[in-house]
Structure 1
Amino acid sequence: MFNISRIPQIQCDTLSLPPPPNDSDARKILVLIHDWFYAVEVLDSHLQPLSAADIERRIADVVDDVELRLAAGEKAPPVGVLSADERDLWSVNLHHLLSLSHTNHAILRTINHSIFALSLDHSVYVLPSSISVDGPSHLPLPSPCTVPELTAHLHNVRSGPAPRPAHNRWFDKPFSLIVEPNTRAGALGEHSPCDALVPSIVAEYAVVQEIDGDAFGAHADSKRPVSRAPGWQRLDWVVDEHIRNECIAAEDRARILVADSDDGILWFDEYGVEWIKNNARFSPDAFIQMALQLAWYRTRKCFTATYETALTRVFKNGRTETIRTLTSDGRAFVLAMSDPCGSVQVRQSLLRRAIQTHTNLTRHATTGRGIDRHLLGLKLMLRPEEGERHELFDDELFTRSQTWKLSTSGLSAGNQFRGTGFGASYPDGYGINCAEIIKFGIESKVSSPLTSTEEFKSAIVEALHDMKIISESTVASHL
């Protein structure tokens, strides 16, 4: 996830090649402020980290340089917005951008080879519903660690400043650290080179490490001239009128996507995974997945194919496999919970069977005995341009079985994470991220009359509550 980038190409993107260790760009981070791009060297020639004071000084110099440019009336072309656009359009625009100047080639090379991206935002994100005609600066910010404040923070990580989404970002870097002026910080991960679990572990590792306050100089708040010391450089794109217009168009498209994103968080605190394991004696993951199945059915009165990520990292180059959460046993449990005449004993039995089935499927998926990646491999081996096809891949049931309107995944324990999340895979579905502490990041689309993040959050809470009652009855019967 370090020192590489996703590169847009028509129909299928690629990843940049890692730089050699002696490449000076490999020792830099990409810094974005007010849409300007900078490269800041943070490792020495032996690839050892510089002191915190040195890195702080260099970043502070970059900030001072931006302030001077703003005072002079300069305005950066928001080239980073193009990386938020539809991939084929981005590929065409990048090709045009590179055709303008060799300087742009050098900038892209530095970006691709840099360790990761750091976005220093110049405004604190507030939810669009809270923005007055006078702008967000005239409103009091929500109290820390409240749902509105956490939601606003996650929205900023997701899409950037509210009035101008996708600015001050380079979405093709696998790891971007994003900091707001009130010190809220979050990480944005680009999924292609690594699974979400990897950057989440890295981010939490960084958070839990103690910060040595003595390592930072006392000059942090002092006013001083730009030192122009070596260790950082401007990365100023050469643009033309076409690129400027494309940036405006890309921002307009990004704004539509952001406005359609109903993104929220749910922290469930009635009980946690320890209670599920030690009291109810169930697999927490399977238990939560059954709660999601129940919540979906109660809000939609139907069933849907459900995707859950399983890691196959026990194999060389292993990435993921699909745990197909919707099963006959899971369906039977959900229907029993919806039957007003269903007994507690029957519901107990069906819940236990559904959880055992899900646990078995998880084991199969993680040990190479899933089906979806094998089928995907076979499908990709076909050459449709030569007329090759197979009736399985044209079958309607096969297509429906992979229409993941419930797309779910988990991260690390995430004790330090205030929230997580990713997007829905279908316009009338949900993207759900959950961690060992029972908390969810949920995203759906405003434009769909069939979904509502708030309604689904309520349905999950109700499902988890009802399943606790059943589980407590199960424990009592065992005693």
Structure 2
Amino acid sequence: MVAGWTYALEVVALDGTPLAPGLIERRLRAVVSDAMFRRARGEIPVDLSILTTDDRDRWADPSQNLAHVLALSSTNDRIYRTITRSVFALSLDDYAYALPESQHTSDSDLTAHLHNIRSGHGQRPGHNRWYDKPFTLIVEANTRAGVLGEHSPVDALVPSIIADYAIVQDVSEDAFTHPLGENDQLDLNGPSEREPIGWERLDWVTDDKVLTECEGAARRAKAIVDDSDNDELVFDSYGVDWIKDEARLPPDAYIQMSMQLAWYRTRGEFTATYETVLTRLFKHGRTETIRTFTTDARAWVLAMEDSTASTHTQLTREAATGRGIDRHLLGLRLMLRADAGERHELFEDEIFERSQTWKLSTSGLSAGYQFRGTGFGASYSDGYGINYMPAPDNIRFGIESKYSCPQTSTSLFKAAIADALNDMQALCMPSSLAHL
């Protein structure tokens, strides 16, 4: 995707062999040249990809927008199949994202980078992205790059592992025809006939309904993005090594308790907490829920003197080995035939519903040495979405909440987590343990 236009680019041979980097580079330059040529002569792209920002049912339900788009033309069906079957998406942005003056932070470059990866241009978010792809590489005009992962098809760990692997690979300059320099300009007259084949335009057939839906989706996407209070906490006073070697506690349980303590200190109450655990011990295994908020967690937060590591570690082990409850209960609930009057009182119970209201939605990734940041959205308007990456000497948190909720504040929660981690370290120091 280039400035709202969509293209298909061949990067592997028919036998699956990757093409030479230099050839892929020339094809990419030809595609960008074509997009700039179209813009220079006044063409305006129909960025139908904005429809993928919508609620999944509105976009993909059999009677909704996707079905209408595919029914318009066989061309659309071919384009959709091409996008769906492609290796990954590449979004080339023709701008460098900059924060408004009112949103400047201590690291505005990092914050701007994360905002663009999350949602794109501030005035027209959601454009130049195909949100249904599990892996999208996004490159700004100033060469900042990042990855957007949509993990319905795969666990979130998969895009992060791929990105991390790609970053640390060597790039051989000999693989390219010649190094690009300041004098290398794109041909605004369109791709040269000498440029290699292996790419094509993917231009949708649209009608008034599609254009109206695109305008509506763009408004809804901007409202969501404008309400998103998203930032990064890099806690570097200590990391996993200190937690394991000095505190002698399981790092993940330790970090989870810091978020429980931060929530209680900022809200004065407790909430059901979601944490992802992988179930890869099983064929086709995906994830299960660790219910982090337990009676032991509550007691620890209230007393700040008793570790819950044993309880949390046990819950993690049980969930990872198929003894969790949430995916099982979800499967049973989805099997109920509501049209036949099937129901079960458990799924209508108030306590059961509250136990699955994950106002604190969390997930841990690998150390992420190559990543500047991470994050995902809050599940509820009055909660937080927190992705964290524990490393040997630091812990990185990506935190999201909503500006519209007076009970939440990402900056406040960042400070609360940092305070909790500092207090927990003080509690675990030998001088503190001596009189417990």
TM-score bucket of the superposed structures, by smaller chain:
over 0.9
Shift of 1:476: 5.6
State the match for 1:289 in structure 2: 256
Do the aligned partners of 2:27 and 2:195 also contact (CA within 8 Å) in 1?
no
**Distance in 2 between the 1:130 and 1:124 partners?**
18
**Distance in 2 between the 1:283 and 1:266 partners?**
21
State the match for 2:26 in structure 1: 57
Q: How does 1:146-157 map to 2 (within 5 A)?
A: 147-157=107-117
User: What is the SS of the residue equivalent to 2:429?
Assistant: helix
User: What is the SS of the residue equivalent to 1:439?
Assistant: strand
**Distance in 1 between the 2:78 and 2:4 partners?**
18
Amino acid in the other structure paired with 2:225? V
**Distance in 2 between the 1:130 and 1:404 partners?**
31
User: What is the SS of the residue equivalent to 1:404?
Assistant: coil
State the match for 1:37 in structure 2: 6
**Distance in 2 between the 1:443 and 1:454 partners?**
10
The alignment yields a C-alpha RMSD, in angstroms, of 1.7
Amino acid in the other structure paired with 1:127? L
**Distance in 2 between the 1:128 and 1:239 partners?**
34
**Distance in 2 between the 1:107 and 1:412 partners?**
35
Amino acid in the other structure paired with 1:305? A
**Distance in 1 between the 2:331 and 2:70 partners?**
34
State the match for 1:371 in structure 2: 325
Amino acid in the other structure paired with 1:122? D
Shift in CA distance, 115/272, structure 1 to aligned 2, threshold 3 Å: same
Q: How does 1:300-319 map to 2 (within 5 A)?
A: 300-319=267-286
* 1:469 paired residue among 422, 426, 435: 426
Amino acid in the other structure paired with 1:238? V
Do the aligned partners of 1:305 and 1:404 also contact (CA within 8 Å) in 2?
yes
Amino acid in the other structure paired with 2:148? L
**Distance in 2 between the 1:475 and 1:443 partners?**
34
User: What is the SS of the residue equivalent to 1:162?
Assistant: coil
Structure 1 residue 251 corresponds to structure 2 residue 218: yes
State the match for 2:75 in structure 1: 103
State the match for 2:170 in structure 1: 210
Q: What is the CA deviation profile of residues 365-394 of structure 1, one whole-angstrom value per residue up to 9, with x for unaligned ones?
A: 111111112222222222222122122111
Structure 1 residue 444 corresponds to structure 2 residue 401: yes
State the match for 1:26 in structure 2: none
Percent identity between matched residues is 60
Shift of 1:228: 4.2
**Distance in 1 between the 2:71 and 2:337 partners?**
33
Shift of 1:259: 0.7
Shift in CA distance, 246/380, structure 1 to aligned 2, threshold 3 Å: closer
Q: How many residues align?
A: 422
State the match for 2:361 in structure 1: 407
Do the aligned partners of 1:280 and 1:475 also contact (CA within 8 Å) in 2?
no
Amino acid in the other structure paired with 1:103? T
Do the aligned partners of 2:26 and 2:195 also contact (CA within 8 Å) in 1?
no
Do the aligned partners of 1:128 and 1:162 also contact (CA within 8 Å) in 2?
no
Structure 2 unmatched ranges of 5 or more: none
State the match for 1:261 in structure 2: 228
Structure 1 residue 161 corresponds to structure 2 residue 88: no
* 2:17 paired residue among 36, 39, 48: 48
Q: What is the CA deviation profile of residues 277-335 of structure 1, one whole-angstrom value per residue up to 9, with x for unaligned ones?
A: 11111111000000000000000000000000011001111111111111111111110
TM-score (norm. length: structure 1):
0.85
**Distance in 1 between the 2:218 and 2:262 partners?**
35
Q: What is the CA deviation profile of residues 220-239 of structure 1, one whole-angstrom value per residue up to 9, with x for unaligned ones?
A: 34345523421111111112
**Distance in 1 between the 2:72 and 2:314 partners?**
56
Q: How does 1:45-444 map to 2 (within 5 A)?
A: 45-91=14-60, 92-129=64-101, 147-218=107-178, 220-221=180-181, 222-223=184-185, 226=192, 227-337=194-304, 347=305, 350-351=306-307, 354-437=308-391, 438-444=395-401
Deviates more, 1:211-220 or 1:80-89: 211-220
Structure 1 unmatched ranges of 5 or more: 1-31, 132-141, 338-346
**Distance in 2 between the 1:395 and 1:175 partners?**
38
Shift of 1:411: 1.2
**Distance in 2 between the 1:36 and 1:219 partners?**
27
Shift of 1:473: 3.3
User: What is the SS of the residue equivalent to 1:33?
Assistant: coil
User: What is the SS of the residue equivalent to 1:163?
Assistant: coil
